[in-house]
Amino acid sequence: MPKSPSNPSPEYAKQICDRLRLGASFETAAKSLQIVHNVKVDRANTWYARGLGQHPTKRPTRLLIEFAKQVEAAEAEGEITLVGAIVKGSRGGDRIYSKTLTRRFPDGSTSTSTTEKKSAAQWSGSAWLLSRRYPERWDRVAMEDARQPGLTALAEQLKAISSGKYVDPRCALLPVGEADGVIIEGEVSRPALPAAEVVK
């Protein structure tokens, strides 16, 4: 097997950028090229980090800075492609098929009618991809969490309740069973009524 290159070739840079323009992540694009170009994903990540000036020990070179600029531009174009798909899909109206029917009558006249079927508005697939590819800008839950940090804690509490592992912090100091109607270890515990309050 030939030795792995020390810098990205122009052909490698072009092919990785072509994949990024389609909306692929950098890692996926690098994986798809590792056999053809004999460049492992770790090496591609190192080139990219050095080009951005983010590598902890190695300095950037002009070639790697140019590579990082190309990658960033291609990633932006890939995002635009996905946004364009959302806009186009939300409008719908792409022609799926067209059927033309011509009728000839006994008197020699003709009548032509055309039937077209157009696509319905469907943008959810591209929206899903955007929310996972660029969660900081497109994932609704992540954006809400950024605005309201308490939502994350609430989501974790709800998950714990549903799994039966939630302990209400208000009951942390009470013996089990002394908290009225509070969930303790996944069960609702109610204390017994005092004798005077027992309804007969």
Q: Summarize pLDDT for 36-70 with one digit per residue, the tens.
A: 999 999 999 999 999 999 999 999 999 999 999 99
Phi, psi of 167 (to 5 degrees): -120, 120
Confidence band for 198, pLDDT divided at 50, 70 and 90: very low
Confidence band for 190, pLDDT divided at 50, 70 and 90: very low
pLDDT digits (tens, 9 = 90+) for 91-124: 777 777 788 888 898 998 998 888 888 777 677 7
Tokens standing for residue 173: 């100091």
SS3 (DSSP) at 32: helix
pLDDT digits (tens, 9 = 90+) for 124-182: 777 777 788 788 888 776 556 555 555 566 667 667 776 766 666 655 555 555 444 44
Beta carbons of 82 and 129 less than 8 angstroms apart: yes
Angle between helices 10-21 and 26-37 (to 10 degrees): 140
Residue 199 has a pLDDT of 45
Phi, psi of 61 (to 5 degrees): -115, 165
pTM of the model: 0.54
Tokens standing for residue 179: 């908290």
CA 120 to chain centre: 23
